[in-house]
């Protein structure tokens, strides 16, 4: 049997603890010039797939094409707060695969549930994908950056060679590249002479992680700072949650069940709602101005900035 090279690379990544982005090993790379993506690993994986899966992928490829030609124009920025939900992977990129179960499908199922819960609370939600289609990381980032007031959550499932590994972990990314900080200055009205630090990602990670664990009773692996492309290149608070391990049989069974997906979604939605409530929907919430008084916020006319306090600091 042919072993897909992407699988080997993925396992190596797992062994060295670099976190997992499914088959997209190349996508773990980042530079200060911009996110780097490679389709090479994805192609290697496709070559090792079975016929039935290829049909599914060809179907998604057609859908992508159709969407590009006939899809509706992207929604306009109305200035209101938008939660951008990003179900990881999709289409020809299944993410982690264990026992025939694809990470991409669980990511989407949970994200759709989160959307429903948030919309039920009157929160505007935008999804990077609502179907099984492939999407570059830059496209996901671009969706989040389309809005002046956006909170971004990328939803993933973990995997490891260590089959007993379990639990949930939430990532944030700090510092951000210079071009992203420039975008932040422009959008939040922060002149060049004001230094600032951004603790929003960590604050959001803490609330989402805590609410997820409370709702699901999952083991907490904590929050971590990691330069994942999808969270590093967006201007707003952004996190990536690994809901559980597909490589752990018991956890995989749970992640595949409707009841657990509902709890996972409730946890993520509760965490987001807690953050939105705490921040009052202000983008400058959680920014820190180490040199003293912050500049006036052109949006509110206020100088005060409520500082986010990470839960376990």
Closest CA to 200 of 101, 279, 117: 279
Q: In the range 181-220, which residues lie near Zn ion by CB under 5 A?
A: none
Give 147's contacts (C-beta < 8 A, 6+ positions apart). 77, 82, 84, 126, 236
Query: Are 164 and 248 spatial neighbours (Cβ–Cβ below 8 Å)?
Result: yes
Return the number of the residue (91 or 95) whose C-beta is nearest Zn ion: 95
Report in angstroms how near the CB of residue 20 gets to Zn ion at its nearest. Answer: 6
Return the number of the residue (138 or 278) whose C-beta is nearest Zn ion: 138
Rounded CA-CA distance 170/210 in Å is: 10
Tell which one of 6, 9, 10, 22 touches Zn ion (CB under 5 A).
22
How many CB atoms are closer than 10 A to CB 313? Answer: 9
Return the number of the residue (22 or 35) whose C-beta is nearest Zn ion: 22
Tell which one of 35, 88, 177, 236 touches Zn ion (CB under 5 A).
88
Report in angstroms how near the CB of residue 104 gets to Zn ion at its nearest. Answer: 8
Stretch that binds Zn ion, among 82-90, 112-120, 164-172, 259-267 (CB under 5 A): 82-90
Tell which one of 10, 27, 149, 156 touches Zn ion (CB under 5 A).
156
Any contact of residue 148 with Zn ion (CB under 5 A)? no
Report in angstroms how near the CB of residue 237 gets to Zn ion at its nearest. Answer: 20
Query: Are 26 and 38 spatial neighbours (Cβ–Cβ below 8 Å)?
Result: yes
Tell which one of 35, 94, 95, 237 touches Zn ion (CB under 5 A).
95
Return the number of the residue (95 or 286) whose C-beta is nearest Zn ion: 95
Count of residues near Zn ion by CB under 5 A: 4
Rounded CA-CA distance 255/249 in Å is: 10
**Residue least distant from Zn ion (Cβ):** 156
Report in angstroms how near the CB of residue 103 gets to Zn ion at its nearest. Answer: 5
Stretch that binds Zn ion, among 54-62, 148-156, 231-239, 288-296 (CB under 5 A): 148-156
Closest CA to 203 of 49, 108, 307: 307
Report in angstroms how near the CB of residue 114 gets to Zn ion at its nearest. Answer: 16
Output helix, strand, coil percentages for the chain, rounded to the nearest 5.
40, 15, 40
- Maximum Cα interatomic distance, the chain, rounded to a whole number of Å: 65
Rounded CA-CA distance 292/289 in Å is: 6
Return the number of the residue (159 or 269) whose C-beta is nearest Zn ion: 159
Report in angstroms how near the CB of residue 278 gets to Zn ion at its nearest. Answer: 28
Report in angstroms how near the CB of residue 221 gets to Zn ion at its nearest. Answer: 15
Query: Are 262 and 107 spatial neighbours (Cβ–Cβ below 8 Å)?
Result: no
Q: How far is CA 21 from the centre of its chain?
A: 11
Binding site for Zn ion (CB under 5 A): 22, 88, 95, 156
């Amino acid at each position: 049997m042919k072993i897909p090279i992407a699988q080997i690379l993925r396992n190596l990544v797992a062994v060295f603890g670099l976190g997992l982005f499914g088959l997209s090993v190349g996508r773990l790379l980042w530079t200060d010039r911009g996110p780097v993506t490679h389709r090479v690993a994805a192609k290697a994986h496709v070559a090792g797939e079975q016929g039935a899966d290829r049909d599914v992928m060809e179907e998604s490829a057609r859908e992508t094409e159709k969407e590009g030609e006939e899809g509706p124009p992207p929604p306009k920025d109305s200035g209101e707060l938008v939660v951008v939900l990003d179900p990881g992977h999709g289409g020809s990129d299944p993410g982690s695969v264990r026992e025939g179960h694809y990470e991409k499908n669980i990511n989407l199922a949970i994200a759709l549930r989160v959307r429903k819960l948030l919309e039920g609370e009157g929160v505007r939600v935008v999804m990077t994908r609502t179907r099984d289609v492939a999407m570059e990381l830059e496209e996901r980032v671009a969706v989040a950056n389309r809005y002046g007031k956006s909170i971004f959550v990328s939803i993933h499932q973990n995997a490891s060679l260590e089959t007993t590994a379990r639990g949930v972990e939430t990532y944030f990314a700090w510092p951000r590249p210079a071009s992203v900080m420039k975008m932040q200055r422009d959008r939040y009205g922060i002149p060049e002479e004001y230094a600032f630090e951004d603790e929003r990602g960590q604050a959001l990670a803490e609330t989402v992680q805590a609410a997820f664990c409370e709702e699901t009773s999952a083991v907490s692996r904590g929050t971590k700072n990691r330069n994942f492309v999808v969270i590093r290149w967006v201007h707003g608070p952004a996190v990536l949650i690994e809901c559980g391990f597909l490589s752990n049989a018991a956890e995989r069974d749970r992640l595949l069940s409707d009841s657990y997906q509902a709890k996972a979604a409730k946890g993520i939605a509760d965490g987001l709602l807690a953050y939105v409530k705490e921040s009052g929907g202000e983008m400058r919430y959680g920014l820190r101005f180490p040199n003293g008084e912050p500049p006036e916020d052109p949006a509110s006319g206020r100088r005060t900035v409520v500082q986010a306090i990470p839960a376990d600091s």
